[in-house]
Amino acid sequence: MPKYVYYFGSKRTDGSAEMKDLLGGKGANLAEMSRLGIPVPAGFTITTDCCNDYFAKGAVFPDGMKEQVERALKMVEDEMGMRFGDPANPLLVSCRSGARSSMPGMMETVLNIGLCPKTIPGLIKKTRNDRFVYDSYRRLITMYSDVVMEKAEGIDPEEGKGIRVQLESIMEEVKRSKGYKNDIELTVEDLKRLCNEYKKRIRKLLGRPFPEDPMKQLWGGIGAVFKSWNGKRAVAYRRIEGIPDDWGTATNVQAMVFGNMGFASATGVAFTRNPATGDNKFYGEWLPNAQGEDVVAGIRTPNPINEETKNPQNMHLESLEKAMPDIYRRLDSIQRKLERHYRDMQDIEFTIQEGRLFMLQTRTGKRTGTAALNMAMDMFKERLITEKMAVLRFKPEQMDELLHPLVDPAAEARVKEIAQGLPAGPGGASGQIVFTSDEAVEWARNGKKVILVREETNPEDVAGMRAAEGVLTARGGMTSHAALVARGWGKCCIVGAGMVHVDSVSGKMTVDEKNYKKGATITLNGTRGYVYEGQLDMIDATENPYFQKFMNLADKYRKLGVRANADTAEDARVARNFGAEGIGLFRTEHMFYGEKSEKPLFLLRQMILSGTVEERKNAINKLYRYVKQNIKVTLEAMNGLPVTLRLLDPPLHEFIPQDHGRQKALADSLGISVREVKKRSELLHEVNPMMGHRGVRLGITYPEVTEMQVRAIFEAAAELNKARKKALPEIMIPVTCETNELREQKVIVDRVYGEVLKKYKIRKINYLLGTMIEIPRACLLADRMAEVVEFFSFGTNDLTQMGFGFSRDDIGAFLGTYLEKKILKDDPFQTIDQEGIGQLIKMGVAKGRSTNKTLKVGICGEQGGDPNSVKFCHRVGMNYVSCSPYRVPIARLAAAHVAIEAAKGGKKTSG
C-alpha cells in the first residue's frame, strides 16, 4: 500500500522541502516550516501520486487512502484539541491545492470545512462570536458550491451565470439595500439570512442541497481539489508554462485558523523583499478581521505591513507594525528566518487569530527582471548566496525586459489602457501615430517620434518600422512579420490588438468608438501588451549600476563566445556596447536595402541585368567602391574583432524593380529598351527561388561577383592596416553543399589575396575563409568541407527550412495549428529543434573537427539569441553564437548558465 498521506505538525512531520514532486510546493513547504519550529496549523498532505491514482481509477479514491486520511485527521484533532464534526468543540479544516510548481490562482481551495447546523452552536458557544461563525459559514457555502458542486462537476455556466457570481450578487444586494460600504458591516442577522438564501439558490440552480455533513464536505473538498488539476484555467496555464499533465496536484488538509474573529484577528500576504524593485525591505499587505483571499481579491484596500513601505494608495491606513507591534516583530523575525533558510526571496501567507500568529504558506516569490537582478546582486553581497547562485538567479528569459526603456509602472498604475494585444516586442514607447511606412520614415526624419499603426505589417513596412519608436498591429500573432522583425531589433511592438480598427485611408484608428487621428499620441507597453492614450513616463532599466557588474560576473563563467549579427557600422557599435565579441554575420546585401541604398542598388541592378560579361564588369567596377566602403567602416567599428562577411546570398531577381519608372531609368542607363529590361528580368524568374540561383551558385556562375566582393574585403582590411588600424575579416561562402564549390571559390580568394598584397605592398592580411553550413548535405559531408575552410557557421534558419522541408515564408498557414495540436512543441525557427536538426548540427561539428582540428564553429541563425538554443550550442562544442545585437546580453547570460549547470553535472529542471 503506498503512503498517500504525509502529516505535518508540531509533534511530527513526515515531509520536507525536498519532496515537492510528491507533496506539491505548498505541502512540502508547510512541512519544512513545521520542521523549523515556525507556527503552522497542523494538517496533512495527500500526495500527487494519490491524485494520479485517483484519475487512473476514473475519479475514485484509491484503496487504503481513506484509512490513512482518517488516521491523520485524528492526529490533527489530538494536536489541536478539537474534534472534526464535534457539536461542542468542532475542528474546521481547509482543503488546499498545491502542485509541484506554483500555479497561482489556477486551482481551488475550500476553507471552513466542517461547519454545519450540528457544529455551529458549539463554535458560537466556544468563541462567543456568532458574527464570526456565520461569516465563516457563508464563506464555506460560497466556496463549496462554486468549487465542489459546480466546477468539480464539470458544469460550465455562461459568463456571469455561475453560482459564485449569483451568491455574491445576493450579498451585494443586501449591502446596497442597507447602505453598507464594506462586508464587515454585515450583521449576524444579515449573515444568517444570507446563508439561508444561498442554500435556497444552490438547490434551485444546481438541483442538489448543500451538504451539511462534515465528513461529506471533507471528501467533497478533497475530490474537488484533485479535479481542479483538470480545470479549464489550470489546463490552459499548463499549456503556456509547459507543465506536464501527469504531475497532478496534492491536497493539503489543514486545521483552520481564523483571521475573521474580530479586530484582534487579521490575514495577510507579504514578500521578504520588494518583488517589483528588489528592494531589501519587508513588503506586504494585511487586512484586519478578514479571511483567506480577502487581501488578494481586493474587497477592501489592504493595509500596509509596515511604515517603511507605505504607498500613496494605503498611506492613510494603519500598518501592522503600528497596530500590532509584537506580532509584527514576530512576523518580521519569521520572514528573516525563512529567507535565510531558503536563501531566496519568499512569498508568504499568514493569519492572526486573536493575537496569535500562524504561517500558512511560503514559496519562492515571483519577481520582475529588475528585481531578479537586484536581489541576486544584493544577496551575493550579503553572502546569502554564492557567486554562481547569483548568476543563476537571473534568467536569460527575464533579461529582455531590462534591455529596453520601460513604461514607468507608477505612471501606468494611474491610467487605464485603451486596448490590449500580444506583447511581441519588449519595452515601452510613446509617439504620434502614423498609418503608413512612408509617413513613419518622413515624420521621423523631421525629428518626430512615431508609432506605426497597421492592420498588419509586411516586408514593405520595414523601413517605417525601423523609423518608428514602436509598432502596433490589429492582426497577427507572436510569429507574425511585425513581431519577428520587432523582436530582432528589440523594438517595442504589440500585435493582434483586435479591438483596434485601422483605417489607413482616412488616417485614423478607432477603439471603442473613439477615434485617434494621425498625429495623436499613444504609449505602448510591449512587455505587457497594453496600449495607452497620451504619453507616459519611461524608465531605463540598463541604467541600473548592477547590470554591468552582473554581466561581468556571468562572463567569468561563460565558455562560449558571443557575437552579433550586424550589417552596418551603427549596428556594430550597438553590438559592442552590449558586449559582442565580434560580428558573426554581416550580410553584404544589406547595403542594397533601406536608407542611402539608391545608388548602390541601381548599380547592382545594372550588374544583374547586364547582357554580356563586359557590361557586367563595367557595372561591378562602379559598384565596387560602395561595397568596399561599407565593409571598411564595419571592420573599423569592430577594431580588430572578427567580422564574418557573407558573400552575396539572395536570389538576384529580388532586386529587380517592378515599376515602370525604375525600369525605364535602368533601360536608359544600359542603353537598352524597357522591353529588353523586362525580358531580361523574366529570364531571372524562378519557380522556387529559395532553392534556386543564389548563394555560392551566383559565385560559380558569375565568378566576377565573388572576385569583386573578396577584393573589397581585402582592400578594406589592407587600407585599415596601412592606417595602423586593426581588422579581422572572415570571408563566408553561403548555401554550399559540395566541397568543389568551396575549392573553386577558394582559387579566386587566393588569387585576389596575392594581388591585394602586391598592390598595397604588404606581407600579410589576417583573415579566415569559411562557409555557412545550412544545407543538410553539407552536414553529411562536413568532414570534406572542413578540409577546404577554416570555419563553419551554422545557418540554422535555412538548415531548419531544408531539414524540415518547411518553407520559412509559408509556414504561417500551418505552424499555428501544429503548435496548438502539439504536433510540434516549439517553433523550430525560434528555438533549435534539438532532436532533429540538432543531430545534423552535432554531426556537422563532429565530422568537421575530425578532419580539421582547429576548425572554428559558430551559429548565425535567429535561434542564436534563444537561451535554450545557446545552451545547446555550448553542449555541442561550438566556439560562439551570433545573434541580433539586443540579444547579445541574453546569449552571454545563457552561455554562463549552461557552463555553470554543466559543471554541476546537469541540473534538474523541476522545481
Residues at the contact surface with Mg ion, assessed by CB under 5 A: 361, 774, 795, 798
Of 862, 858, 792, give the one whose Cα is nearest residue 581: 858
Identified catalytic residue from 860, 873, 874, 883: 860
Least distance to ligand ADP from the beta carbon of 133, Å? 15
Of 756, 795, 752, give the one whose Cα is nearest residue 772: 795
* 290 part of the interface to ligand ADP, by CB under 6 A: no
* 51 part of the interface to ligand ADP, by CB under 6 A: no
Count of all residues that appear for the chain in the document: 911
* 76 part of the interface to ligand ADP, by CB under 6 A: no
* 249 part of the interface to ligand ADP, by CB under 6 A: no
Stretch that binds ligand ADP, among 119-127, 251-259, 274-282, 657-665 (CB under 6 A): 251-259
* 129 part of the interface to ligand ADP, by CB under 6 A: no
The letter for the amino acid at 370 is T
Nearer to Mg ion, 100 or 388 (CB): 100
Nearer to ligand ADP, 356 or 825 (CB): 356
Of 76, 94, 3, 62, give the one whose Cα is nearest residue 34: 76
Of 450, 503, 498, 510, give the one whose Cα is nearest residue 474: 498
* 362 part of the interface to ligand ADP, by CB under 6 A: no
* 136 part of the interface to ligand ADP, by CB under 6 A: no
Q: Annotate each residue in 605-644 with x if it binds ligand ADP (CB under 6 A) or - if it does not, as one string.
A: ----------------------------------------
Helices (H), 242-353: 294-297, 320-323, 325-342
Supply φ then ψ for residue 532, to 5 degrees: -125, 155
HEC string for 47-87:
CHHHHHHHHHCCCCCCCCHHHHHHHHHHHHHHHHCCEECCC
Q: Is 860 a catalytic residue?
A: yes
* 346 part of the interface to ligand ADP, by CB under 6 A: no
Determine the Cα–Cα distance for residues 550 and 893; give it in Å rounded to an integer: 9
470-473 and 450-454 strand pairing: parallel
Least distance to Mg ion from the beta carbon of 798, Å? 4
Of 441, 453, 550, give the one whose Cα is nearest residue 492: 453
Note whether 367 and 272 are within 8 A (CB).
no
Place of cell 491545492: 97
Of 824, 857, 862, give the one whose Cα is nearest residue 841: 857
Least distance to ligand ADP from the beta carbon of 782, Å? 52
Place of cell 552575396: 648
Nearer to Mg ion, 473 or 736 (CB): 736
Identified catalytic residue from 481, 873, 874, 883: 481
* 270 part of the interface to ligand ADP, by CB under 6 A: no
What cell does 660 get? 515602370
Stretch that binds ligand ADP, among 13-21, 207-215, 252-260, 605-613 (CB under 6 A): 252-260
Looking at 319, 361, 852, 863, which residue binds ligand ADP (CB under 6 A)? Answer: 361
For residue 401, the SS3 value is helix
Looking at 51, 163, 257, 379, which residue binds ligand ADP (CB under 6 A)? Answer: 257
| Partner touching 470 among Mg ion, ligand ADP, none, CB below 5 to 8 Å by kind | none
| Partner touching 647 among Mg ion, ligand ADP, none, CB below 5 to 8 Å by kind | none
Scanning residues 573 to 602, which ones bind ligand ADP (CB under 6 A)? none
Place of cell 483567506: 292
Nearer to ligand ADP, 357 or 609 (CB): 357
Nearer to Mg ion, 361 or 630 (CB): 361
Least distance to ligand ADP from the beta carbon of 96, Å? 3
For residue 321, the SS3 value is helix
* 29 part of the interface to ligand ADP, by CB under 6 A: no
Determine the Cα–Cα distance for residues 692 and 685; give it in Å rounded to an integer: 10
Supply φ then ψ for residue 446, to 5 degrees: -85, 15
Looking at 349, 412, 730, 862, which residue binds ligand ADP (CB under 6 A)? Answer: 349
Least distance to ligand ADP from the beta carbon of 58, Å? 26
Least distance to ligand ADP from the beta carbon of 217, Å? 14
Helices 888-903/867-875 angle, 10° precision: 50
Looking at 256, 536, 742, 802, which residue binds ligand ADP (CB under 6 A)? Answer: 256
Q: Is 653 a catalytic residue?
A: no
Nearer to ligand ADP, 286 or 592 (CB): 286
Q: Tell me the CA distances in angstroms from 113 to 5, 43, 255, 788, 849, one per residue in order.
A: 19, 13, 9, 76, 67
Scanning residues 787 to 806, which ones bind ligand ADP (CB under 6 A)? none
Please give the radius of gyration of the chain, using alpha carbons only, rounded to the nearest integer: 33
Q: Tell me the CA distances in angstroms from 851 to 732, 844, 880, one per residue in order.
A: 19, 11, 20
Contacts made by residues 292-301, CB under 8 angstroms, sequence distance 24+: 292/109, 292/111, 292/139, 292/259, 292/267, 294/267, 295/267, 295/268, 295/269, 296/269, 299/183, 300/182, 300/183, 300/184
| Partner touching 798 among ligand ADP, Mg ion, none, CB below 5 to 8 Å by kind | Mg ion
Nearer to Mg ion, 523 or 869 (CB): 869
Nearer to Mg ion, 461 or 798 (CB): 798
Least distance to ligand ADP from the beta carbon of 128, Å? 20
| Partner touching 795 among ligand ADP, Mg ion, none, CB below 5 to 8 Å by kind | Mg ion
Angle at 903 between CA 898 and CA 906, to 5 degrees: 70
Looking at 13, 48, 52, 94, which residue binds ligand ADP (CB under 6 A)? Answer: 94
* 293 part of the interface to ligand ADP, by CB under 6 A: yes
Residue nearest to Mg ion (CB): 798
Nearer to ligand ADP, 349 or 833 (CB): 349
Looking at 145, 254, 272, 663, which residue binds ligand ADP (CB under 6 A)? Answer: 254
* 892 part of the interface to ligand ADP, by CB under 6 A: no
Q: Is the dihedral of CA 838, 842, 843, 849 positive or negative?
A: positive
Distance of CA 566 to the CA centre of its chain: 24
| Partner touching 103 among ligand ADP, Mg ion, none, CB below 5 to 8 Å by kind | none
Interface residues with ligand ADP (CB under 6 A) are 41, 94, 96, 105, 109, 111, 254-257, 292-293, 349, 351, 360-361
Q: Active-site residue numbers?
A: 481, 860
